Amino acid sequence: MNRRHFLNTLTGASVASPALLAGAPEGFIDAHVHVWTPDTRAYPLAPGFTPANMVPPAFTPEDLFRHGKPEGVTRIVLIQMSFYRFDNRYMLDVMAAHPGVFGGVAIVDDSQPGVGGAMKELARQGVRGFRVSANRAKAESWGEDMRTMWRHAADEGLAICLLADPEALPAIHKMCGEFPKTRVVIDHCARLGMKGSAAPEDVDRLCRLAAFPGVHVKTSAFYALGKKKAPYLDLAPLIRRLRDAYGAERLMWASDCPYQVADGHHYADSIALVRDRLDFLTEDDKANLLRTTAARLFFS
């Protein structure tokens, strides 16, 4: 199947799913999802990746809709998949095929000249954020190329979306101090608790970033944090601490599909933790986590 035929197929699928694709403002937003296609001829994998890296072999918009629609999710933020690297075409084609349904977070090569122009062109196509991996070594070695990205993001109202390890938080704090006007999104609670209980000092570091008004946090990937077992209530103290530090208007929920729906985990359990099971969240808090924050960052 060539790329034009594949894009036509995507467009046809959008017409076939009107209930989900209406983008009703009262619907929820899933702020972090990956999609990919088995068609590696139209959308080749980046060097160093093979189809064996694609687990599951495919996760298309239609696969996603089957999980999100029953839970009232009407809009979704797509995160560029790592095995496509800097080729954002599949994500962009999905966005174009379903107008108003998908926001996008792209990956660009900050080492290449003209990265600001690449960010601007992607923003023209609906991208509102740019993903950056941030372990301690990478974050401590950020140079002028990365600073160009942060500077351009601030100028254009775009977000730097960090897949951060807890050990990277001090370097991120330093960068936020250098670029206080840059919108920053920390994915998956900075992966606190991936190796067990979140270390108190790491929670403190993440909460200290709340001093920068442009920093936001995704409460997401519950399947991978803490006890890693539904209904994920062991994560309640962390979410409460983040709500108290940031305010709910700087937090957003996300599933991290397809990984949230693998190995016995279920989409419904992820959204239910925020929607139904945390008694310290007000209705306004829930509206922010499940809709308003992500709408402001990724759909405006």
Main-chain phi, psi angles of 76, to 5 degrees? -145, 140
Question: Which pLDDT score, from 0 to 100, does residue 10 have?
Answer: 52
User: Mind listing the pLDDT tens digit for each residue in 149-204?
Assistant: 999 999 999 999 999 999 999 999 999 999 999 999 999 999 999 988 889 999 99
User: Mind listing the pLDDT tens digit for each residue in 83-129?
Assistant: 999 999 999 999 999 999 999 999 999 998 899 999 999 999 999 99
Question: Which pLDDT score, from 0 to 100, does residue 14 have?
Answer: 37
Helix/strand number for the chain, H first, E second? 13, 8
**Cα-based torsion angle of the residue sequence 103, 214, 169, 149 in order, rounded to the nearest 10 degrees:** 60
User: Domains of the chain, with CATH numbers?
Assistant: 3-298 (3.20.20.140)
Q: Is 243 exposed, middle or buried (0-12, 13-18, 19+ CB in 10 A)?
A: buried
Confidence of residue 3 (pLDDT cuts 50, 70, 90): low
In terms of Cα–Cα distance, which of 260, 140, 283 is closest to 188? 260
Q: What is the mean pLDDT of residues 240-267?
A: 98
Tokens representing 11? 């467009």
